[in-house]
Amino acid sequence: MSMSRIVVMGLGYVGLPTAAVFASRRLQVLGVDVNEQAVNTINQGKIHIVEPSLDIVVRATVTEGYLKASNEPVAADAFLIAVPTPFKEGKVPDLSYVECATRALAKVLEAGNLVVLESTSPVGTTEKVCEWLAQERPDLTFPHTHGENSDIRVAHCPERVLPGQVIRELVENDRVIGGITPKCAEEAVTLYKQVVQGQCVVTNARTAEMAKLTENSFRDVNIAFANELSVICDELDINVWEMIQLANRHPRVNILQPGAGVGGHCIAVDPWFIVDSAPEQARLIRTARAINDGKPHWVLTKVEQAIKELEAEKQGIQRSDIKVACLGVAFKPDIDDLRESPALRITQDIARLGCQVLVVEPNVQELPPSLQAPNIHHATMLQVLQTANVTCALVKHASFMEVRSLLQELDGLIDVVGLTHS
């Protein structure tokens, strides 16, 4: 079947690059988002997020007429759902964005269309997409009830990309294609083979959903090991960065780097979907989440200790006069994404200690509302080097690495990401 007209629901950190990559293959792509500002920005050939090379692709595809943005979907051959899947109170998966996007596109569905859920989701969500579509369009048939003879094909095809490398990895990485039926998977392969140079590996929808959750849980468990080692080494007065470097010389050992915690919309969230689905069995996964979620508190304790030592050393100094610098509030290096960021959470907690907080975040023009407070200031690195009493390195941005020699000389440096370790 022809796959020349594509609608992408959601124009965030995955949806927009996905739309742009398909449009770069001279396919007609409409990106849909509820954010009016994002829609207007994209239609001007600009981007509203930070991602290397994305601006070039968007500018070219918009200019050439292959990519447009709108608040409403239109008729197409294939529909990709790339909206967030956060969790609610109690770490319960929140599928409201997926459901809303699904019901929105249902009204323009036609027999022969393909619907692909790209959003990382709990096991069984793709089947729910079928049910929601069927509720909206009783005039059409769907694979969960009519199998291979359905009017509409439905599949799950999760992204597996790294922020900062999304454009390249959308093309080069292997893609897991999970169909509700084999024909659903087959048509999804036809769609993705227009852009994907890696392998399109076929399975069923539930296995594809679990595979994506497993990938991120694997990384979370391994990060938890590194974070736990950093706490242990601090207790034993051992340089964790040197120790890991030495341990990694073993031919079958590859310990990850510790940090301020784990953030973002994937690794910090997806393991909870497994825990929610199998709470009695997911013991290691739950423990890893607890370790990584607890790391920001450990960092805060280190900062609070440094402040108290400063107060004891400088008699008469007021807490409100002490300046604590927080280097980075994004969830990982060299991006502007603050979702589930442990660095952001740590910065908020430091501000509650009553000191002045100097935030250096080179990837955002202004601090988010959660950091709008009288004692929080969007600062430059120069201001930090000249005035900070305590400096907490929370994110390993490239621009910070450029001044690592100056940072190493600072008194009161708390480096939780190995910024100053060679």
- Whether residue 178 is contained in a domain is answered as yes
Our answer to whether residue 68 is catalytic in this structure is: no
Q: Which amino acid is at 79?
A: F
Answer with the one of 169, 198, 227 that is the final residue of a domain: 198
Our answer to whether residue 266 is catalytic in this structure is: yes
Helices (DSSP H) in 13-82: which residue ranges?
15-23, 36-43, 54-63
Are 14 and 161 a contacting pair, CB within 8 Å? Answer: yes
**Which phi and psi angles does 326 have, rounded to 5°?**
-115, 110
Query: Do 18 and 141 fall within a single domain?
Result: yes
Query: Do 224 and 164 fall within a single domain?
Result: no
Query: Do 27 and 74 fall within a single domain?
Result: yes
Name the pairing type of β-strands 323-327 and 356-360. parallel
Query: Do 226 and 325 fall within a single domain?
Result: yes
Q: Which of 369, 290, 387 is nearest to 329 (CA)?
A: 369
- Whether residue 75 is contained in a domain is answered as yes
Query: Do 56 and 178 fall within a single domain?
Result: yes
Catalytic residue among 130, 266, 326, 355: 266
Enumerate residue ranges in the chain where pLDDT < 50.
Answer: none
pLDDT value at residue 336? 87
- Whether residue 422 is contained in a domain is answered as no
pLDDT value at residue 337? 86
Query: Do 191 and 58 fall within a single domain?
Result: yes
Are 70 and 30 a contacting pair, CB within 8 Å? Answer: yes
Query: Do 244 and 125 fall within a single domain?
Result: no
Distances from the Cα of 129 to the Cαs of 132, 143, 241, in angstroms?
A: 5, 11, 45
pLDDT value at residue 1? 61
> Domain containing 342 — which CATH number?
3.40.50.720
Answer with the one of 198, 230, 248 that is the final residue of a domain: 198
Query: Do 194 and 226 fall within a single domain?
Result: no
Query: Do 146 and 259 fall within a single domain?
Result: no
Query: Do 151 and 222 fall within a single domain?
Result: no
Torsion of CA 169, 270, 109, 194, to 10 degrees: 10
Interatomic CA distance for residues 206 and 179, integer angstroms: 9
Are 328 and 360 a contacting pair, CB within 8 Å? Answer: yes
pLDDT value at residue 233? 97
What is the tens place of the pLDDT at every residue in 197-234?
Answer: 999 999 999 999 999 999 999 999 999 999 999 999 99
Distances from the Cα of 48 to the Cαs of 42, 266, 358, 361, in angstroms?
A: 8, 20, 25, 17
Are 85 and 268 a contacting pair, CB within 8 Å? Answer: no
Q: What is the DSSP string of 45-61?
A: T--SS--TTHHHHHHHH
| Two structure tokens written together for 72 | 């409403």
Catalytic residue among 157, 184, 200, 212: 212
User: Which range of residues forms the domain containing residue 156?
Assistant: 5-198
- Whether residue 210 is contained in a domain is answered as no
Query: Do 340 and 411 fall within a single domain?
Result: yes
| Two structure tokens written together for 287 | 């423990």
pLDDT value at residue 52? 87
pLDDT value at residue 324? 98
Q: Which residues contact 370 (CB under 8 A, 6 or more apart)?
A: 344, 348
- Whether residue 174 is contained in a domain is answered as yes
Q: Which of 385, 396, 387, 249 is nearest to 335 (CA)?
A: 396
Half-sphere exposure for 237 (CA within 13 Å, toward CB): 0
Residue whose tokens read 């590859």: 254
Measured from the Cβ of residue 411, the count of other Cβ atoms closer than 10 Å reads 10
- Whether residue 206 is contained in a domain is answered as no
Give the H or E element holding residue 345. Answer: helix 342-351
pLDDT above 70 coverage of the chain, percent: 99
Answer with the one of 134, 168, 198 that is the final residue of a domain: 198
Query: Do 266 and 123 fall within a single domain?
Result: no
Give the predicted TM-score (pTM) of the model.
0.91
Domain total of the chain: 2
